[in-house]
Amino acid sequence: MNQPASLPLLASLLDAPLPVSGVAWLDEARRENLAAFAAGGLPGARVEAWKYTALRGLGQRCFAAGDAGAATRDVDAAAFALPGVDGPRLVFVNGVFRADLSALDALPRGLSLLPLAQALRDQAEPLRFALSRRYRDAGDAFARVNAARAGDGVVLRVAAHARIEVPVQLVFVGAVAETEPAWHARNVVELGEGASLELIEQHVGSGEQAQLATLVGDVELHEGAQLHCTVLQDAAAGANLIRRSNLRLHARAQARLHVLELGGALVRHDLQAELVGDGAQLHTRGAFMPHGRQHVDTQLAIRHQALDTASTSVWRGVANDRARGVFRGAILVAPGADGSDASLNNKNLLLSPGAEIDTKPELEIYADEVKAAHGATVGQLDERALFYLRSRGIPLAEARALLTAAFCRAVLDDLPNAALREHLSGLLIAQLPA
């Protein structure tokens, strides 16, 4: 921490002018978060949450402040078309909202979907709780940058008891630009009491050009609300993508997440969930598949704070070539959260001698009458299963691909959208080594 501001990354993130909203509390929060970033710098190996993700290389990069041509860049809509997903859509290119690529006509009753910049112009006060947050932990450097610099993003609200029958798609495109840009987006999602929604978050891009993107999302599920969220991260090969998702579940709210991490050069996702209401439930399923020299880091932290809450987490990792994967799964059952039921399972495969996966399950319990379990493994493909398939005439490469695909597809088995499930399974198979 406390690196000199002359470090290229710090200088490029600190020197550009802050966005000015004209909203006093927001502009003040931006200044305070940027000052905190300037004082704290980038987290190093002594910060536990960043122990396995070194930022030395990224710190030497210098990025332009945004992309002046993002509003007119040519983007092929086929790049983010998904089978089984044909509903409202918001698209951002290098952090800039693109109305020409979005689909906002005839929104279902009970759904409000706006770019953040427009929501701030129309009525900023309801966003104050989410956007005025000050980040104080040593590992919050990029959340501070995002809070200071995000000028656009998504504001999505579902009215109480509204059931949105069509999926809503949020697309973030990293497009090749004349410079290497840094861009930032902030999402605010709120489901009212008894509401339900299927949400697709998608990250796409192409090319080797380096970019830096930060995305912070705050998701609030009120009593009895239900959210099913699918996250597909297939960013460009040169992308540095750092995300933070904060979920807050009230009484009897349910959230189900399916996450695929496929693209990018340096990718990190901090997923933090608080189960603050009695009977709240969170179920996460995820797979990360780094190859080449990719570095993919997933930090999952679930906090049970109320009676009879439940969480299940099933994650798979596959690393090939000289790639590195990191998974930290932490479950905390707070005092008073009696009757909680929590389980976390992380299994990982190494497909080459140079690949590495670091996994760290954590479990803290401060309540009574709790059921909790966690486990993690790192290994290679089962030689007996390989021998069985080869004895049936299947070539070695094909046998390895079959076993690896089956290992990963376990996280998609309960995805209800059949067309999307098959498409994501195909992406997993395509990611496997030939």
Q: In sequence order, which residues have a C-beta less than 8 Å from that of residue 99 and are 6 or more positions away? A: none
3-class SS of residue 305: coil
Tell me, rounded to whole angstroms, the distance of Cα 67 from its chain centroid: 22
pLDDT of 307: 98
Q: In sequence order, which residues have a C-beta less than 8 Å from that of residue 87 and are 6 or more positions away? A: 103, 108, 166, 167, 168, 169
Domain boundaries, the chain: 63-381, 382-434
The model's pTM: 0.94
pLDDT of 175: 94
Report, as an integer, the average pLDDT of 2-26.
Answer: 83
* Residue 39: both structure tokens together: 């004082």
pLDDT of 407: 85
Q: In sequence order, which residues have a C-beta less than 8 Å from that of residue 236 and are 6 or more positions away? A: 174, 176, 205, 206, 207, 208, 209, 211, 263, 264
pLDDT of 209: 86
Query: How far is the C-alpha of 184 from the C-alpha of 215, rounded, in Å?
Result: 6
Q: In sequence order, which residues have a C-beta less than 8 Å from that of residue 185 and are 6 or more positions away? A: 92, 95, 116, 146, 150, 152, 153, 154, 172, 213, 214, 215, 216
Q: What percentage of the chain reaches a pLDDT higher than 90? A: 82
pLDDT of residue 343 exceeding 60, the answer is: yes
Query: How far is the C-alpha of 189 from the C-alpha of 247, rounded, in Å?
Result: 9
CA distances from 35 to 8, 68, 140, 206, 289 (A): 17, 25, 13, 34, 36
The model's pLDDT over 280-336, given as tens digits with 9 standing for 90+, comes to: 999 999 999 999 999 999 999 999 999 999 999 999 999 999 999 999 999 999 999
pLDDT of 393: 81
Cα angle 426, 432, 434 (rounded to 5 degrees) comes to 115
pLDDT of 45: 87
Nearest partner of 377 among 321, 324, 327, 312, judged by Cα? 327
Is-contact 281 254, C-beta < 8 A?
A: yes
pLDDT of 163: 98
Q: Binning pLDDT at 50, 70 and 90, where does residue 410 land? A: confident
Report, as an integer, the average pLDDT of 165-169.
Answer: 97
3-class SS of residue 404: helix
Half-sphere exposure at residue 225, Cβ-oriented, CA atoms within 13 angstroms: 29
Is-contact 432 407, C-beta < 8 A?
A: no
Average confidence score pLDDT of the chain: 93
Q: Which residue has the higher pLDDT, 404 or 214?
A: 214
pLDDT of 9: 93
pLDDT of residue 4 exceeding 60, the answer is: no
pLDDT of 62: 93
pLDDT of 434: 63
pLDDT of 377: 87
Q: Binning pLDDT at 50, 70 and 90, where does residue 399 land? A: confident
Report, as an integer, the average pLDDT of 89-115.
Answer: 96
Place of tokens 């987290």: 43
Helix (H) or strand (E) holding 384: helix 383-391
Handedness of CA 116, 120, 125, 126 (dihedral sign): negative
pLDDT of 380: 79
pLDDT of 327: 97
pLDDT of 6: 56
Q: Binning pLDDT at 50, 70 and 90, where does residue 429 land? A: confident
The model's pLDDT over 179-203, given as tens digits with 9 standing for 90+, comes to: 999 999 999 999 999 999 999 999 9
Q: What percentage of the chain reaches a pLDDT higher than 70? A: 98
Report, as an integer, the average pLDDT of 114-127.
Answer: 94
Report, as an integer, the average pLDDT of 22-31.
Answer: 93
Is-contact 315 70, C-beta < 8 A?
A: no
